[in-house]
Every structure is written in structure tokens, then in C-alpha cells.
């Protein structure tokens, strides 16, 4: 009995270490970012936007695969959507549910902001939301 308890304690310790290592690596290495256009750049419309992701994979909406998601491009969004419900789908919240990693968008002349947000298979942000830095661009 004593031996079993020690074994259980050892197993529990082992899995705690694994869980800790897993959560650490997920947080430390995960990043979503806009490869182009560059922050502060002046562009002409239409604009090609390239999505970057490290530490996670891209998978289409509707397919549940751990540690993956699909991109959402937020255009001129001031307030981030609710993290507990599916990301809205409209002109300002574009979904790339096929697993696309770039798009071409039309923007009116003036200043705009772009930001990426990853959503899971059901379009809901991850437990620890994966959100890019918001960039500002100008359209001539």
C-alpha cells in the first residue's frame, strides 16, 4: 500500500511537470503578426495582407485540432470582440475559415488599422487569446 502511494505520487509529479512544460511552451512561443504591409506604411488599395503565426498551426474552421486555429482580420476595429463567443463576421471582422494565410482587401483613402486574431474551430478566441499587435497604415 505504501509502495502504491509513492508510485502514485511519482506519477502525479511526472504529469504535473509535463503539464507545466506544455503550458509554458505554448505561451512563450505563440505569436500572431502581420507580415505585410508594414506598420506605418503608405499603400495603395487594394492591399495584400500577409498573416504570420508561430508556435501554433493553421487549420480550417470546423476541424478540431489541438493547438491550431484560423485567422481573423480586424479592420478599423477599436474594441476587441468578446473572447467567450464566436468572433463576429462582418466587413470589419473577416474570417479565413479555409485556413488562408493572406488576403487582398479594398480600403478607402485615409488612415486604417489592421489586427489579427486567431479563433478556434468554432471561431471562438483561444483560452489565452492569440492577438497581433495592431498596425496603422495609410492609403493614398
Binding residues for Cu ion (CB under 5 A): 95, 119, 123
Output the smallest distance, CB 10 to Cu ion, in A: 43
DSSP code of residue 7: H
Sequence-distant (6+) residues with CB within 8 A of 26 are 55, 67, 128
Output the smallest distance, CB 94 to Cu ion, in A: 9
Output the smallest distance, CB 2 to Cu ion, in A: 53
DSSP code of residue 113: E
Q: Toward Cu ion, which CB reaches closer, 96 or 137? A: 96
User: What is d(CA 82, CA 77) in angstroms, rounded to the nearest whole number?
Assistant: 13
Q: Toward Cu ion, which CB reaches closer, 62 or 109? A: 62
Amino acid at each position: 500500500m505504501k509502495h502504491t502511494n509513492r508510485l502514485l505520487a511519482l506519477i502525479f509529479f511526472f504529469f504535473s511537470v509535463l503539464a507545466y512544460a506544455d503550458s509554458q511552451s505554448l505561451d512563450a512561443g505563440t505569436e500572431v503578426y502581420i507580415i505585410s504591409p508594414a506598420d506605418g506604411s503608405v499603400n495603395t488599395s487594394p492591399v495584400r495582407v500577409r498573416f504570420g503565426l508561430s508556435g501554433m498551426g493553421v487549420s480550417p474552421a470546423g476541424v478540431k485540432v489541438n493547438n491550431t486555429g484560423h485567422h481573423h482580420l480586424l479592420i478599423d476595429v477599436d474594441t476587441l470582440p468578446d473572447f467567450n463567443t464566436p468572433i463576429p463576421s462582418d466587413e470589419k471582422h473577416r474570417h479565413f475559415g479555409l485556413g488562408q494565410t493572406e488576403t487582398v482587401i479594398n480600403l478607402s483613402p485615409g488612415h486604417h488599422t489592421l489586427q489579427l486574431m486567431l479563433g478556434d474551430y468554432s471561431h471562438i478566441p483561444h483560452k489565452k487569446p492569440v492577438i497581433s499587435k495592431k498596425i496603422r497604415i495609410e492609403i493614398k
